[in-house]
Amino acid sequence: EAGVAQSPRYKIIEKRQSVAFWCNPISGHATLYWYQQILGQGPKLLIQFQNNGVVDDSQLPKDRFSAERLKGVDSTLKIQPAKLEDSAVYLCASSRPSGRAYTGELFFGEGSRLTVL
């Protein structure tokens, strides 16, 4: 079974520029998550999709971050314009819905490391 795929692995940009990250979840996983992990901290949820609908985006800085999941499969996370404090690893994860029939486990991609200069 193929894992969660993310690209690019690394990206360096100047502040005020834009950047986009792509994620392809595990086949059959309807739930997709984007997390932000700042160095030395635990991941923080940015947005959660169920198929192509948003379940939770309460911590997404909507003035600069946007995300979409077209056709309920791949997803793109965009930052525009980037700030210095956006330097982090952006993790994509997927899962089956939580509940008694499933394990509740999230499967993570390798992450996309963003450096904003």
Partner 1 sequence: AQTVTQSQPEMSVQEAETVTLSCTYDTSESDYYLFWYKQPPSRQMILVIRQEAYKQQNATENRFSVNFQKAAKSFSLKISDSQLGDAAMYFCAYRSAVIFGTLTFGKGTMLLVSP
Where on the chain is the footprint of partner 1 (CB under 8 A)?
A: 3, 31, 33, 40-45, 48, 50, 55-56, 91, 93, 97-100, 103-106, 108-111
Q: Report how far residue 48's alpha carbon sits from residue 39's, in angstroms, rounded to the nearest whole number.
A: 22
Q: Which residues of 68-92 are buried (b: 16+ CB within 10 A; e: fewer)?
A: ebeeebebebebeebeeebbbbbbb
Q: Report how far residue 24's alpha carbon sits from residue 22's, in angstroms, rounded to the nearest whole number.
A: 7
N residues, the chain:
117
Nearer to partner 1, 28 or 42 (CB): 42
Nearer to partner 1, 77 or 91 (CB): 91
Nearer to partner 1, 27 or 41 (CB): 41
Q: Least CB distance from residue 43 to partner 1, whole Å?
A: 5
Q: Least CB distance from residue 16 to partner 1, whole Å?
A: 27
